[in-house]
Amino acid sequence: MKMSVLEMRNAIKDISFYTDVGSAADMPTLFHKLTLVENALRDLKTQFPTDTWIPGLGLGLAQAFLKLHVGDAAVRANDAIDWVIADYPRSSQAIFAKGLRRATSAVASGMDPVPLEPTITLRP
């Protein structure tokens, strides 16, 4: 699928919005549309691996997939997070993706995604 960077960005933004306001019946259609964007992004990544837009699009794609609770959306989100970190390790998106990976793995394991700081109680 041939999509420009701007079309991909707008599609991710629109799908992410509709996952917030849409009904459960809309989710399979949104998932399918997001997989088309994912395919277009993979094509762009293959043709232009150093394009500076790609890490941000990958991160946005992962975040949109995380909102969808259908099919293998969580797996696709983790895949996008992984390649953003692996292929663009020095980007700010990779740093954010690492935090997102920790949060999603903590939620999946049933742990609190926010690490708790130890508390010190002072006795009078």
Q: Distance between CA atoms of 89 and 119, rounded to whole angstroms?
A: 34
Quote the CA–CA distance of 26 and 17 in Å, as a whole number: 12
DSSP calls for 34-75: HHHHHHHHHHHHHH-TT-TTHHHHHHHHHHHHHH--STTHHH
Inform me whether the pLDDT recorded for 101 exceeds 50. yes
User: In whole angstroms, what separates CA 64 from the centre of its chain?
Assistant: 6
- For the stretch 65-98, pLDDT in tens is 999 988 899 999 999 999 999 999 999 999 999 9
**Which CATH number describes the domain made up of 5-105?**
1.25.40
pTM of the predicted protein model: 0.81
Q: By C-alpha distance, which of 105, 106, 62 is closest to 85?
A: 62
Rounded average pLDDT over 56-65? 95
Please give the average per-residue pLDDT across 2-12, as a whole number. 94
